[in-house]
Structure formats: C-alpha cells, structure tokens
Amino acid sequence: MSPDATPDPYANPMAFGQRMQILRQRRGMTREVLAGLLGMSEAWVKDLERGRTQAPGLETVYRIAEALRVRDLADLTGRPDMHVDLFTGPGHPRLAAVRAAVDSFGLTTTQRAPSPEHIAARLARAWKARHSAPNHREVIGALLPDLIRDAQLAVKQAEAPAEWRAAQAVLAEVYSLSQFFLAYQPDASLLWRVAERSMVAAQQSDDPHTIGVSAWLLAQAHRDSGPSHYDAADAVNLEALAYLEPILPDATDDVLAITGALTFEAGYTAARRGDTADAWRYWDTAQLMAARLPETYYHPVTSFSQAIMGAHAVTVAVELHSGRESVRQAARADADTIPSRPRRARHRIEQARGYQLDGQPDVAIATLAQAYEAAPETIRYNGYARAIILEETESRVAGRRRRASELAARVGLLAA
C-alpha cells in the first residue's frame, strides 16, 4: 500500500479513533459535521480520532455508527465478534422473486397486458393490504412480481398516447410500492434501480401526483445513503416542490398531501444535517398543509395526514439528537390515530430512539415491544430498533437485559 493511501480498516487492526476517522473521511464528512450530528464538540471528535481519549461506551458507539451510516458495527469497532448489520435487514424470502421481476422486461412474451385501470385497482388493494397487515413485506412481496411484470407490459403494449401515459403512471407507482419492500433489504443496487425507474416513469406520465410520490421516495433513497447524498436529496425534493407549487391553489387532496409529505422530507434532511431552524420551519409548513386536508384523510403512500404530524415531530427531534425534546414530542403524539400498522410501528421505533437518547432505556424497550405488536416485520428490518435492542441485551441491569433478550429472540436477533 502506498504511504499516501488511506489505510483499510478491514485489513489492519487499528485504534477505534483511527477507524472512525477513516470511515468519516470516506463519507466525505468533516469533523464539524460529525460533531454536530453527535451533539459533541469538534475538539471531542478530534481527540477521539487522535487517541487522546478512550473509546466511548456502547451507546455512543451506536450513535457514531448511525451518524456515519456504518453498515456493520465491526467496521467501526474492529471487533469481528461485534458483527451487527445495522442498516440492512436479513433478506426477505420473497426478495429473489421481486428482483427477478424487476430484471425481466418481457421482451419476447406474447401475453397481453391488463389495462392500466385494472393494474391501478390492484395497486390500490395492495396499498391497503400493506397498511393493514402486520407482515406487510410478506403481503406485498407476494403481489409485486405479477404487478411489476404486468405494469411493464402495459407500457410496452400501449397504443395511444393517453394509454401510454396512464401505463407509465401505474408503472411508477408499482415501483414506488417496490421501494417499501426493498427498504433495508441487502440489495442496495436493486433499490436504486427501482427508485430511478420510478422517477423516469413518473416524468413520462406527466401526472403531478405520480411525480411527487416518485420524488418523495428518491429523496429518501439519497438521504438514507448518507451525508454525501444530502445535497442530492435536497435537489430532488426542492425541485419537486417547485414543480407542484403553481398547481396547489386548485390541487386535489392527494396532490396537496404529497406536497406536504415532500415539505416534511426537506425538514427531515435538514434535521439529519443538524440544522434545527430549517428542520422545524419545514415541519411547521407541512403542519399547515396537513391542516388543509380533511380530518379523516390519509395519503395511501406516504401516510401524510393530520394524524401523522405528531409522529413527524418526534422524528425531527430524534434526528436532531435532542432526547428531551424527543420525549416531549412523543408524549404529545398519539400513535393510535395512525391507521397504518407499519407506519405506527415505525413511529414507536422513533419514540424508542427518543427515550434511549433521553436515558430511559426501559421505556425504550417497552416501546419497541409495542412496535413489534403493531408490525413485527417493521421492527425486524429496522436498523435503529435492532441497535437499541442489542445494546440493552448487554445491560448490567438484570431485568432490562432479560426484557431486551426476550424481545431480541422474538424479533429474530438472538436464538430463542
């Protein structure tokens, strides 16, 4: 290796701080940004990287891993016995079938495609099933292969321009549904193919709502790829908002809702950056947009609604690493008003992150147990939930360690 090359944390045993510095630099992240995400000083980060202070405790290690979007905890700690895949869940049994459908274009098939209207009706049922099922990945994973193939064929076989645009809108939405299945699955390249295809199909459809949904998911894909993608997330998000803004005065509820969802997503990314003022400013704007929707309205894809804004406030506080504010917002948010089981489970996970930040691990574990009851597959594939559970399985408090271990066994992290 050249003396100027970046040392490889996979090949050479190193001090924790050196390994952290390498992973930070590979993300293109400055010490100042990392310090802000951790709620620490830049001097603290520098001292840790230079080995002037001892390696932090397990809770802080998890926070560093979260900030650096480390996939495997062993990459940060240098300890193979701490192999924890933080942000990628186990491969779902239906992943191979979904991948095969995405990768096949039906170039030689003689099968006739269903009409776009027929596929749209099936899609509507699939979204409802996703929101109501505790094993939502299993449910939509069973439906997706046929939906993907039929939607691709509908585009290929469309004869009139209006039919072609309608087929593109349906295909974009099928790909959007696919992204919910592929989140946290061990195939990042497949997720990116689907996200980008959804955006292309949406643009071809020329339908504002479809474009907004695809942009919403593409922005999330960028944001969840780490700090080096935050600018790309903002670019997609803000361009979609600029596109939708002129039609808002006469917009349908669905278009207004996707605009509100995109507005909140801009705040979500700002919170990830540690920008408190922008994060809450976007949340305030999104709340005003939610207030314009009927009280019982619930967006079928994003869950945007009046009922979701409390959960969104918890997410902003958690991403800003404010434990006290997270707990305050969690107390105000009513999870029972969220009709979607997976979205309700995700909200419980965000609440648990807030309790963990606030030094209330027992409440965090109890809240994760509620998330499991709402939708087991959500917690099983969520890296934040798994990190909290595994951390507390090593607690020195016997009762907490037992409860965390029991939950870990239910989730599938430990042998029962």
Provide the residue ranges of all domains of the chain, joining segments of one domain with +.
16-82, 92-199, 207-293, 307-416
Q: Do residues 62 and 389 make contact, with C-beta atoms less than 8 angstroms apart?
A: no
Q: What is the pLDDT of residue 65?
A: 82
Nearest residue to 392 (alpha-carbon basis) of 407, 382, 379, 411: 407
Q: How much is the pLDDT for 267?
A: 98
Lowest-confidence region among 20-24, 157-161, 308-312: 20-24
Residue 113 contacts by C-beta under 8 Å, 6 or more apart in sequence? 150, 153, 154, 156, 157, 167
Give the pLDDT of residue 81: 56
DSSP state of 45: H
Ranges of H-type helices in 53-187: 58-68, 73-77, 95-103, 116-132, 136-157, 161-182
Q: What is the mean pLDDT of residues 131-145?
A: 94
Question: Shortest CA distance to 313 belongs to which of 272, 367, 358, 268?
Answer: 268
Alpha-carbon Rg of the chain, whole angstroms?
Answer: 22
| Average pLDDT, integer, range 383-391 | 85
Residue 243 has pLDDT above 90, yes or no: yes
pLDDT band at 6 (very low <50, low <70, confident <90, very high): very low
Specify which of 150-154, 320-324, 357-361 reaches the highest per-range mean pLDDT.
150-154
- How far, in Å, CA of 23 to CA of 65, rounded? 10
Average pLDDT over residues 56-81: 74
- Of 171-175, 223-227, 359-363, least confident by mean pLDDT is 223-227
Q: Is the pLDDT of residue 5 over 50?
A: no
Per-residue pLDDT at 228 exceeds 90: no
Q: Which two tokens stand for residue 74?
A: 């062993």
pLDDT for res 1: 39
Residue 153 in tokens: 């064929």
Mean pLDDT over all residues of the chain?
A: 89
Dihedral sign, CA of 390, 393, 399, 404?
Answer: positive
Q: How many helices (H) and strands (E) does the chain have?
A: 21, 0
- The class level of CATH for 16-82 reads mainly alpha
Quote the percentage of the chain above a pLDDT of 70: 92
State how far the alpha carbon of 126 is from the alpha carbons of 41, 146, 183, 209, 301, in Å: 47, 12, 17, 18, 11
Buried b (16+ CB within 10 A) or exposed e, 247-262: eeeebeebbbbbbbbb
156-170, 216-230, 242-256: least confident range: 216-230
For the entire predicted model, the pTM comes to 0.79
